[in-house]
Structure 1
Amino acid sequence: MYDLVIIGGGPGGYVCAIRAAQNGLKVACVEKRQNLGGTCLNEGCIPSKALLESSHNFYNAKHHFTEHGISVNPKIDTSVMLARKDGIIKSLAGGIDMLFRKNKIDKITGTARFVSKNEIEVENNGVKTAIRSAKFVIATGSVVSQIPNVAIDEENIVSSTGALCLKKVPQELVVIGGGVIGLELGCVWSRLGANTKVLEYSDKIIPGMDDDVSEYAKKMLDAQGLEIHTSHKVLSVEKTSKNVKIEYEDIKTGKRDFVTCDVVLVCIGRRPFTQGLNLEAIGGEIDSRGFIKVDKEYKVCENIFAIGDVIPGPMLAHKAEDEGIAVADIAAGKYGHVNYNAIPSVVYTDPEIACVGLSEKALKDANIEYKIGKFNFAANSRAKAISQTQGFVKIIADKQTDRILGASIIGKEAGTLIHEISVLIEFSASAEDLSMICHAHPTLNEAIKEAALAVSKRAIHS
C-alpha cells in the first residue's frame, strides 16, 4: 500500500514523485515507456532543442562565420546529429532513474487503469498487477492531434515525433501548423537545406502571442527562408507513389490550390491523453475539450489529483512541473500554489521568442487600462557586438498602478531573459521598480531596463 502513486512519468509526474518522497510519503510512479521523462524528454522539448542547436551551428557556419573572418565549408552528417540527440535523451533519462533511486521511489513500467478510488491495475506485456494507494495523481500528458482521414506513417507524413528522426534532409518540406512545434521543427530542417512551407489556419502564426510579436516573427522567419502562409486551410493530404500532395484553401480569397513535397509535418497541436484510464471508476469527468475536470486543489475526487497537459491551461512542461510540486505538497497536508500569470512561454526559433503574463488582447478583453514600453535590440550595445540586433522587448504595465502585467521578448536568449520579468510579476513589481535595478553593461538585459523606462517615456537609448 502506497501513500501516493503517480500515473505518468513525464515532467509533471516524475517531479511530483520526487517532491512527494521528499515530503516523507511512500511513492511509486507508473510509466508506460522504459524511459522516464515523458514526451518532453523522449520525443519533444529536449530532442527538438538538441536538433535546433545542431542546425543553428550549421546555419551560422554557412552564413555568418565569414563576417567574423572565419572561412569554412560545412557539411551535414545527419546520423551523427541524430546520435548526439539520442545520447542526450539517454543521459537525462538515466539521471531521472538515479533521482528515483536516491529518493526511494518505485518505478513501475506499464499502463494503468483505475479499478476503484484506491486501486489501479497496471498491465505490462500482458501481465496485470494490482496496486493500491491512499492517493493517486494522473499525469498522463498529451498526444499529437491528427487531421481527420490523414494517416501519419512517420516517414513521408510525420508528426513531431517522426520529424525528430528523419534520416536525411527533405528537399521539400510542408509544415501544417504555425504554432510553436511547427515553427521550431520547420526551422531545424529549413536551416539544414529543406525548402520549407508553413500552412497555418489562423490569420497569424503563434496565435497565443501578441499580434505585434506574431507579425514581427513572421517577417523574421520569412527572411530566414521559411515560406509562411496564414489563413490557409488544409483540405486533404494524399500520399502518391512519388510524393505527398496537400490541397489547401486560402480562407481570405476562397481560392484552392495544392503543393507537393517529399515530407509533410502535421503540427496542429496536442490533445489530453486519458485513454484507458477508466475514469468512470472514480467519478472523473471530461470537459468539452477533453481535459479532466479538477477543483482549485487539482482534485478529480477526494483522493485523486490530475496535473499537466490533462487539465486546462498551457501545455508546457514547466507548468506541469510546478503543478506536480503543488500537488505533492497538498497530498502531504501542506499548501500548494501555482501563479499562472508568472509562467513564461518560449519559442526556440532564432532569435527566440518569449512571453509572460497577460497579452494586450487579454487586457482589452478584460477592460484593463494599460501602458506599453518597447525597446529594440538594434540599440543595445551587446546585441550589436554579437550581431544579434533583431527583435525587441515589450513590457505592459497597469496604467494606474504601474504594476507589470505582461511582457514579450523577441531576441537572442529571449527564453532566458524573460525570467527576470517573471520574477517581478511574481512579486507584483512595477515598471519603475524594474527601471531602477542596475543592469550590467554591456548585456542584453539592458534592453529590459530600457523597455521598463519606456513605459514612462524615459528610455535613455531610444
Structure 2
Amino acid sequence: MTTQSTTLLIIGGGPGGYVAAIRAGQLGIPTMLVEAEELGGTCLNIGCIPSKALIHAADAFHQAASYSGESALGIRAGAPSIDVNKTVGWKDGIVKRLTGGVGTLLKKNKVKVVRGWATILDGKTVEVRQTAQGDNDGEPVRIRCEHLLLATGSQPVELPFLPFGGAVVSSTEALSPASVPEHLVVVGAGYIGLELGTAYRKLGARVSVVEAAGRVLPAYDDELVKPVAASLERLGIELHLESSVLGPAADGQGVRMKNAGGEEVTLAADRVLVAVGRRPRTEGFGLESLLLDMNGRAVRIDNQCRTSMRNVWAIGDLTGEPMLAHRAMAQGEMVAEIIAGKRRHFMPAAMPAVCFTDPEVVVVGLSPQEAVRQGLDCLSASFPFAANGRAMTLEATDGFVRVVARKDNHVIVGWQAVGAAVSELSAAFSQSIEMGAQLEDIGGTIHAHPTLGEAVQEAALRALGHALHI
C-alpha cells in the first residue's frame, strides 16, 4: 500500500466538494479529492440537472400535445409521440458535458482526483480503495492530510415497509426511465415528488400522489401552494391527502394505503416512486471513527463549517437542512478560503429555495407568517401575474410575487413567488436581501418592460401604497 500526503483532502465530489477543491487549487493549496462515482455528485448526475432536463422534455411534449386540438394561439398540429430512450439519452448528454467540465476545471487547478471508496482511519488519515481505471491498478492508497473536508452529501430516504427494488423506485431510477408507466404512484407530495410526478403526468402516465399531510407542499404557505394545487387538478393528477402508505400491494403491483377516512385500500400501479425526503450520507466511510458531535443524523458544524474535531470540516447535505446544492457550493468555497488564511463566516442573509413544479415556487427569506413568529412587525404585499403583460403573452397568468418588509424602516426581509419561470427571479430576491435593500430601492429601480420582473417592482410599490398597474 502506498502512502501520499496533501494539505487538503476532500471526501465527495459533489457541488460542495468540487467547488471547495477548485477554490483551494486557485489559492495554491495542495488538494486531493476522493470520489468513487461520477464527479458532480447527486446534483449533476441524479438530481438537480437531470430532473430539470426531464421536466423540460415533459413540458415540451405536453405543450405539443396541447396543439393537437383547438388552440387559442391558432396553432394546430398532429398528436405528438415521444421516444423516452432518446429523451434519456439527451438528458445523459447534458450530464456528461457538465461532469466532464468539472473534471477539466479540477485538472486545470491542479487538484488530484482519486477514484475510489474512502474509509476514514482518523482525522488525518484516510484509506482509499481505488477503482481500477487508466493507469490505476485498483490498489488501495493511504492519504495523510492536514485538513479533512467531509462532503459526502445525502441519499433518498427508504421506507422500511416499502424498500427500493423492482417496481418501487427512488428519484434516481425515476430520472432514467426505460418507459413511461401506465400508472405511477408517488409517495410524498414534497418538491421532489411533485416535480417528478408532474413530469410523468405530462409524459402521459396516470399519476396518483399519496401524502400524509392535508395538502401538497406542506413546507410552503397556503397562498403559494394554491396555484400549484390548481395546476395538479387541471393535469388530472389524483391526490390522496391525509393518507398513509402501509406497504406494497399483495401482488406487488402498487401500494396498500390508509385513506383520509381510515379505510385500507389498494392503489394498483406498475411503478411506485418513494419521495419522502433525503438524509445525510453518514454510513460506509468510517465517519463513526471520528466521534464528531451530531445533530441527529447530521454532522454538527459552526458558522465556519468546522466540526467538533480540529481541522475536520463538513459541508452540504451531510450537515443537514437546508439540503441545497448552492448552499454546499458557498460553504465549500468558504472553507477553502479559511484554510488559505482568509477571514470568512457562513452567515448568508438569504438562502433561495426553488420548487420546479408547474408553476414554479421560489422562497427567499421570511414569509409573513415566519416574520410574525420571529416577533417582527412587518408589512407584505403581492402583485398578481394576471396583471402582468408579459405573463399574459406567455399564457402564464397564474401566481404572484410577494414581498415582506419591516414596517419601521422598510428593509426587505423576504420574497416569495409562484408562477411560470419565477426561478429566474430568485437572484434578484436574494441580492436585494443580502444588500439590505428597502422597498424604496426596489420601487425606484427601473425594471424592463415587458418582463415578469416588473411584478417585483410592483409588489414593492404596492407595499408602499402606490402600485401602478393594479
| TM-score normalised by the chain length of structure 1 | 0.95
Secondary structure of the equivalent of 2:294? coil
Equivalent AA in structure 1 for residue 50 of structure 2: P
Secondary structure of the equivalent of 1:70? coil
- In structure 2, C-alpha distance between the alignment counterparts of 1:430 and 1:198, rounded to whole Å: 41
Partner of 1:16 in structure 2? 20
Where do 1:10-409 residues align within 5 Å?
10-33=14-37, 35-64=38-67, 66-73=71-78, 74-125=80-131, 127-153=139-165, 155-238=166-249, 240=251, 243-250=253-260, 253-288=261-296, 290-300=297-307, 301-409=309-417
1:5 aligned onto 2:9: yes
- In structure 1, C-alpha distance between the alignment counterparts of 2:51 and 2:24, rounded to whole Å: 30
* Worse-superposed segment, 257-266 or 50-59: 257-266
Structure 1 residues 42-97: Cα deviation after superposition (integer angstroms, max 9, x where no partner): 11111111111111101111115833333222111111101101111111111111
Report the Cα offset of residue 312 of structure 1.
2.9
- Does the 8 A contact of 2:169 with 2:274 survive in 1? yes
CA spacing shift, 1:447–1:355, aligned 2, 3 Å? same
Partner of 2:466 in structure 1? 458
Report the Cα offset of residue 239 of structure 1.
6.0
- In structure 2, C-alpha distance between the alignment counterparts of 1:23 and 1:368, rounded to whole Å: 41
- In structure 1, C-alpha distance between the alignment counterparts of 2:237 and 2:32, rounded to whole Å: 45
- In structure 2, C-alpha distance between the alignment counterparts of 1:161 and 1:426, rounded to whole Å: 34
Secondary structure of the equivalent of 1:387? coil
- In structure 2, C-alpha distance between the alignment counterparts of 1:230 and 1:369, rounded to whole Å: 34
- In structure 2, C-alpha distance between the alignment counterparts of 1:245 and 1:181, rounded to whole Å: 19
* Worse-superposed segment, 64-73 or 127-136: 64-73
Structure 1 residues 239-269: Cα deviation after superposition (integer angstroms, max 9, x where no partner): 626x22332332xx43433311111100000
Cα RMSD for the two superposed structures: 1.6
Percent identity between the two aligned chains = 39
Equivalent AA in structure 1 for residue 315 of structure 2: I
- In structure 1, C-alpha distance between the alignment counterparts of 2:393 and 2:226, rounded to whole Å: 26
- Does the 8 A contact of 2:249 with 2:267 survive in 1? no
Secondary structure of the equivalent of 1:254? coil
CA spacing shift, 1:188–1:99, aligned 2, 3 Å? same
- Does the 8 A contact of 1:373 with 1:457 survive in 2? no
Structure 1 residues 423-449: Cα deviation after superposition (integer angstroms, max 9, x where no partner): 000011112211110001111100111
Report the Cα offset of residue 402 of structure 1.
1.2
Secondary structure of the equivalent of 1:122? strand
Report the Cα offset of residue 364 of structure 1.
2.3
Structure 1 residues 342-375: Cα deviation after superposition (integer angstroms, max 9, x where no partner): 1111111232111101123322221222111101
- Does the 8 A contact of 1:341 with 1:356 survive in 2? no
Structure 1 unaligned blocks of 5 or more: none
Shift >4 Å, 4+ stretches: none
How many equivalent pairs are there?
Answer: 456
- In structure 1, C-alpha distance between the alignment counterparts of 2:123 and 2:43, rounded to whole Å: 28
* Worse-superposed segment, 360-369 or 161-170: 360-369
Equivalent AA in structure 2 for residue 67 of structure 1: A
Structure 2 unaligned blocks of 5 or more: 132-137
Structure 1 residues 110-154: Cα deviation after superposition (integer angstroms, max 9, x where no partner): 12122122111111357421001110110000000011122211x
Report the Cα offset of residue 376 of structure 1.
0.5
- Does the 8 A contact of 1:10 with 1:36 survive in 2? yes
- Does the 8 A contact of 1:403 with 1:428 survive in 2? yes
- In structure 2, C-alpha distance between the alignment counterparts of 1:392 and 1:41, rounded to whole Å: 30
Structure 1 residues 146-176: Cα deviation after superposition (integer angstroms, max 9, x where no partner): 11122211x4111001111221111111100
Partner of 1:413 in structure 2? 421
Report the Cα offset of residue 206 of structure 1.
2.0
1:446 aligned onto 2:457: no
Secondary structure of the equivalent of 1:437? coil
Secondary structure of the equivalent of 1:206? coil
Secondary structure of the equivalent of 2:255? strand
- In structure 2, C-alpha distance between the alignment counterparts of 1:93 and 1:296, rounded to whole Å: 29
- In structure 2, C-alpha distance between the alignment counterparts of 1:353 and 1:15, rounded to whole Å: 27
Secondary structure of the equivalent of 1:110? strand
- Does the 8 A contact of 2:228 with 2:357 survive in 1? no
- In structure 2, C-alpha distance between the alignment counterparts of 1:206 and 1:316, rounded to whole Å: 17
- In structure 2, C-alpha distance between the alignment counterparts of 1:432 and 1:231, rounded to whole Å: 43
- In structure 2, C-alpha distance between the alignment counterparts of 1:219 and 1:385, rounded to whole Å: 20
CA spacing shift, 1:309–1:93, aligned 2, 3 Å? same
- Does the 8 A contact of 1:28 with 1:107 survive in 2? yes
| TM-score normalised by the chain length of structure 2 | 0.93
* Worse-superposed segment, 290-299 or 338-347: 338-347
